[in-house]
Amino acid sequence: RKEVEQDPGPFNVPEGATVAFNCTYSNSASQSFFWYRQDCRKEPKLLMSVYSSGNEDGRFTAQLNRASQYISLLIRDSKLSDSATYLCVVTYSGNTPLVFGKGTRLSVIA
Amino acid sequence: NAGVTQTPKFQVLKTGQSMTLQCAQDMNHNSMYWYRQDPGMGLRLIYYSASEGTTDKGEVPNGYNVSRLNKREFSLRLESAAPSQTSVYFCASSGGGLAGGYTQYFGPGTRLTVL
């Protein structure tokens, strides 16, 4: 079983739609969680960290479910500019590098 | 403040040639990383350096060597390039110890083709 698994998509949604991605991780000792965004042929950039209590940043909401070992990202009122690949990222401890999922591709259509 | 810079941006090599990919960061970060990204494979860690003077293997280190020249610079060397090393290479850095709780900042990438 892969350490971090994501549905590769693509998710094709119309502008204004709400879309959600899930990501599962295999190591129950995982400590920190993030969502990164990667535009086509560009470098990944941090979108948001994921906290145990859940957190929101504008149209984006991230949630963590430790019992089921998954994290989610909800995007409300999708914009064309949200089209990108979203990478789920976990760490196991302060002494191990980040582990990246393969990403979920989102296309927002006018 | 340039963040993480990588050179070159593009490179074409013939099988068996060698080259060094350069990476530098100006954020005073302790940790630096080299990844490769292939279609359908996601980001895979090649080598990392938790601090100046240390380097460790990642998931796919074979065929590569690294040097943490100083706190700012972390280079990746291909001694004898192979077509299987055709990929996009990203360098990244983070401020604290290894990753936990610290954001990784990526360079713009080097697109390498080995013929």
Give residue-wise pLDDT tens across range A21-60.
999 999 888 888 999 999 998 999 999 989 888 899 999 9
Is there a contact between A100 and B107 if contact means CB atoms under 8 Å apart? Answer: no
Contact between A96 and B99 using a beta-carbon 8 Å cutoff = yes
For residue A80, the SS3 value is helix
Chain A contact set for B48 (CB, 8 A): 97
Nearest C-alpha neighbor of A109 from the set A35, A4, A17, A22: A17
Of A45, A91, A103, the CB nearest to B99: A91
Residues of B in contact with A23 (CB under 8 A): none
Interface of A with B (CB under 8 A): 8, 31-32, 34, 42-46, 49, 87, 91, 93-98, 100-103
Is residue B63 within 8 angstroms of chain A, CB to CB?
no
| Predicted local confidence at residue B100, as pLDDT | 44
The residues of chain B scoring below 50 in pLDDT are 99-101
Question: What confidence score (pLDDT) does residue B102 get?
Answer: 66
Q: How far is CA A3 from CA A9, A93, B9, B92, in A?
A: 18, 14, 31, 21
How far is A49 from A62, CA to CA, in rounded Å? 8
Helix (H, G, I), strand (E, B) or coil at A24: strand
Contact at CB, B96 and A31, closer than 8 angstroms: no
Q: Residue A3 — pLDDT band, cuts 50, 70, 90?
A: confident
A64-88 average pLDDT score: 96
Q: What residues of chain B lie within 8 A of the CB of A96, using their CB?
A: 98-100
Torsion of CA A42, A47, A50, A53, to 10 degrees: -160
Q: What is the pLDDT of residue A98?
A: 86
Beta-carbon contacts of B39 under 8 Å, excluding residues fewer than 6 positions away, are none
Q: Is B64 on the interface with A (CB under 8 A)?
A: no
Separation of CA B97 from chain center: 18
Q: Which helix (H) or strand (E) holds A103?
A: none
Place of tokens 């990501």: A23
Residue A63, number of CB atoms within 10 A of its CB: 19
